[in-house]
Amino acid sequence: MCTTCGCGAGEVKIDGDDAHHGHEHVHADGTRHSHGHVPGAAHEHSHAHSHDHVHGHRYAPVHSNAAPAHSHAPGLGAKRMVQIEQDILSKNNAYAAQNRQRLAARGIFALNLVSSPGSGKTTLLCKTIELLRGRQPVTVIEGDQQTSQDAERIRATGAPAIQINTGKGCHLDAHMVGHAMEKLELPADSLLMIENVGNLVCPAAFDLGEAHKVVILSVTEGEDKPIKYPDMFRAATLMLMNKCDLLPYLSFKVDAAIEFARRVNPAIEVIEVSATTGQGMDDWLAWIDRQAAVARPAA
């Protein structure tokens, strides 16, 4: 947990740098420099949350004049109740709203790709970038616990990519993504693809500021994944059924998988694809075009 801004990102690295203890700044004339935070120093930070580098010194005991009614802990004063009434995810949701605003201001359409490990997210992204070359700029934020292999695979296609390593963290959160967005130079009217950490549970609860979550289910997994991990399939707008080139060799029942997905989310759309053969990719690209047109206010 990061004590600098209390953001639970202690082990998080963005392209190998600590997420918080050194920010690179790009000045209008193009010069870049990095520096760590100096406690107490005024600090321009384009990501609008405040980092008030207090490090807990304000937690001095408060001495109340009121008679201590039930003082059980000597030296700590009377106990009292404090109403909070806040959603546990409210902090994340506030960062997500901020990301969403920044994306909307520049006409950037963002998708959050979620799935179990190995369902083909990175392969699918590489294929998508290849097919969109010359038509639409794509930028990628890669989330994995360790290594920057996926970001390197994306960069090999020519698209800019940044790697977030979450360490022990099992999902991306909106705060990390906000910092990654600062580091990337996102072209106006582009497509931002965020590959989440491979995990069908936790990423469902964390809004990153994306327009939609897209869940990838590969046919080498069970048909019953949607009812085993209902939160994720409820959170997604689209299910990409990947590795369909393997169907002839498997007993996977496509209809059953779709039925299970619709049971937890009656509105979910489904496209059958193969990232390796390119089957169904036209439908996927058309879906992106359609949704991006809806998301972007008419120019």
Determine if 201 is a binding residue for other proteins (CB under 8 A): yes
Q: Choose among 14, 22, 24: nearest CA to 163.
A: 14
Determine if 166 is a binding residue for Mg ion (CB under 5 A): no
Q: Which residue's CB is nearer to ligand GDP, number 36 or number 117? A: 117
Binding flags for ligand GDP, 167-206, as an x/- string (CB under 6 A): -------------------------------x--------
Cβ neighbours of residue 96 under 8 Å, at least 6 residues apart? 174, 206, 207, 208, 209
Determine if 5 is a binding residue for Zn ion (CB under 5 A): yes
Euclidean distance between the first and the last CA atom of the chain, given in angstroms as a whole number: 42
Q: Which residue's CB is nearer to ligand GDP, number 7 or number 138? A: 138
- Phi/psi at 213 (nearest 5 deg)? -95, 140
Q: Choose among 216, 255, 218: nearest CA to 239.
A: 216
Residue 16 neighbours by CB distance under 10 Å:
8
The Cα 204–Cα 198 span in angstroms is 11
Binding flags for ligand GDP, 265-284, as an x/- string (CB under 6 A): ---------xxx--------
Nearest distance from residue 177's CB to Zn ion, in Å? 12
Q: Which stretch binds other proteins (CB under 8 A): 30-38, 144-152, 199-207, 217-225?
A: 199-207
- Phi/psi at 123 (nearest 5 deg)? -60, -45
Q: Which residues bind Zn ion (CB under 5 A)?
A: 5, 20
Q: Which residues bind other proteins (CB under 8 A)?
A: 1, 6-8, 54, 56, 58-62, 73, 76-92, 169-171, 173, 199, 201-202, 204-206, 227, 230-231, 234, 263-264, 266
